[in-house]
Amino acid sequence: MTKEVQANRVTAGMIVIGDEILSGRTKDKNIGTVADFCADLSIELTEVRIVSDEISNIVEAVNALRERYTYVFTTGGIGPTHDDITADAVADAFGVELKVDDRAIKMMQDRFTDYPMNEGRLRMARIPVGGELIPNTVSGAPGIKIGNVFVMAGVPKIMQGMLEAIAPELDTGVQQYTASCDSHVGESSLSSGLAALQNSYPTVKIGSYPQMGSDKYMTQIVLRSPDKDLLDEATQKVREIIETATNKKLKI
């Protein structure tokens, strides 16, 4: 990858917070959504961590990833109950206080009429000092932006709304072009050709994905590059590798 491209890389890490995912009780749906969201904006999602509802685990993950990536997206743990500790952990990670925020109360009361601020609702209005609010069009209680960290809800519908809300302010990376080629041979028949091709085209990322469950072997080759011409060249060579392997297989 050339220096120019490196300079324009926009990267992201994601932290999924919640015992319910780790216990198997809830199957995560947010990772795929964030991955697609990043791909659409040419942001490279580079790492995801799923951590349990323990302050120290969340603090460690937030601090590790916010140093490393352009953006960090967290999901989960910002509701009104005692096990919702993400705001506390993010405040800890940034070394700032966590305070009930009038803007947050206003946002919640603007969303619903008759919304008395009980203990749980006040809990959701606590924002790390210096944080900005992310609107929540579904249930009112805001997400939080602080530094390069975006703290969002775990409920998929609310999380998706928050992603839409923050999209306009995110830097986007260099557009990546992709191409894919399907084949009816096993991965092993393609591997040496693909390895040599990857060496010749270091700026084109070539991935190989076997597909199980069908009657026959199926392998999909996916190519990705910021350089459209190089991508087209490499894709043509993948087609030739597949053709050679297929003809060889037919002869056997």
Q: Of 94-102, 153-161, 167-175, 234-242, which part binds a second copy (CB under 8 A)? A: 153-161
* Nearer residue to a second copy within complex by CB, 35 or 174: 35
Member of 17, 41, 51, 133 binding a second copy (CB under 8 A): 51
Give 17-20 contacts, CB < 8 A, sequence gap 24+.
17/50, 17/51, 17/53, 17/58, 17/74, 17/75, 17/76, 17/77, 17/86, 17/89, 17/154, 18/50, 18/52, 18/53, 18/76, 18/77, 18/154, 19/52, 19/53, 19/83
Interacting residues with a second copy between 162 and 201 (CB under 8 A): 186-192, 194-195, 198
Query: Residue from 17, 30, 41, 53 that binds a second copy (CB under 8 A)?
Result: 53
Q: Which stretch binds a second copy (CB under 8 A): 12-20, 88-96, 128-136, 230-238?
A: 12-20
Which long-range CB contacts under 8 A does 161-165 form with residues at least 24 apart?
A: 161/135, 161/136, 161/137, 162/134, 162/135, 162/136, 163/33, 163/34, 163/37, 163/73, 165/134, 165/135, 165/137
Least distance in Å: CB of 132 to a second copy?
23
Q: How many residues line the site for a second copy (CB under 8 A)?
A: 66
CA distance 65 to 50: 12
Part of the chain binding a second copy (CB under 8 A), chosen from 127-135, 144-152, 202-210, 232-240 = 202-210
Contact footprint for a second copy (CB under 8 A): 16, 19-28, 31-32, 35-36, 38-39, 44-53, 57, 79-84, 118-121, 123-124, 138-139, 155-158, 186-192, 194-195, 198, 205-210, 212-213, 222, 224
